[in-house]
Amino acid sequence: MPAPLALLAGPLMDVAGKLIDKLFQTDEEKAEARVRLLKAEQAGELEELRLAMGAILADAQSGDPWTSRARPTFLYVMYAVIGLCFAGGIVGIWWPGQVTAAAENIANLLAAIPESLWWLFGAGYLGYTGARSFDKWRGGGR
């Protein structure tokens, strides 16, 4: 039997379900119409997913080095920033006053970055590493 209408996504599906109840007489006709409606909805969602994945794959396979490497480059920049912070800590052994002033300046600069940008970085980092891990698990990784 088809899934209950409550599980179908979107207000359009609710309206369509009500129309099915009014237009079809027997339970068999209603069930068949709901199955067709559910299949049409799933086909639309799968098509949207296919289009989105096609755009992502096109970016990844692009000959333009910036387009194909933008996300990893962003991560490399962040690694460099973290590495420079550690280097500054070591340099502080010999020049503590200057490193303290530099650290305060860096802290002020980092505090000026909006919180939403930090969330974007976190989402991008997790999304990229999760997608790469899945790709490698699936056997498509390089």
Amino acid symbol at 53? M
Determine phi and psi for 10, rounding to 5 degrees.
90, 150
Q: How far apart are CA 13 and CA 15, in angstroms?
A: 5
Amino acid symbol at 44? G
What integer is the mean pLDDT of 11-24?
A: 70
Nearest Cα neighbor of 2 from 27, 50, 29, 38 is 38
**Domain ranges within the chain, ordered by starting residue:** 5-51, 64-138
Alpha-helical runs (H) found in the chain: 11-23, 27-60, 65-91, 96-111, 115-138
pLDDT digits (tens, 9 = 90+) for 105-131: 988 998 999 999 989 988 887 887 777
Q: How far apart are CA 53 and CA 138, in angstroms?
A: 16
Whole-prediction pTM: 0.34
Nearest Cα neighbor of 120 from 60, 56, 74, 77 is 74
pLDDT digits (tens, 9 = 90+) for 28-80: 887 887 887 777 777 666 567 677 677 667 766 767 666 666 667 777 888 89
Residue 81 near residue 88, CB atoms below 8 Å:
no
Residue 23: both structure tokens together: 């237009």
Number of H helices, E strands in the chain: 5, 0
Q: How far apart are CA 27 and CA 55, in angstroms?
A: 42
Residue 7 banded pLDDT, cuts 50, 70, 90: very low
State the pLDDT at residue 46.
58
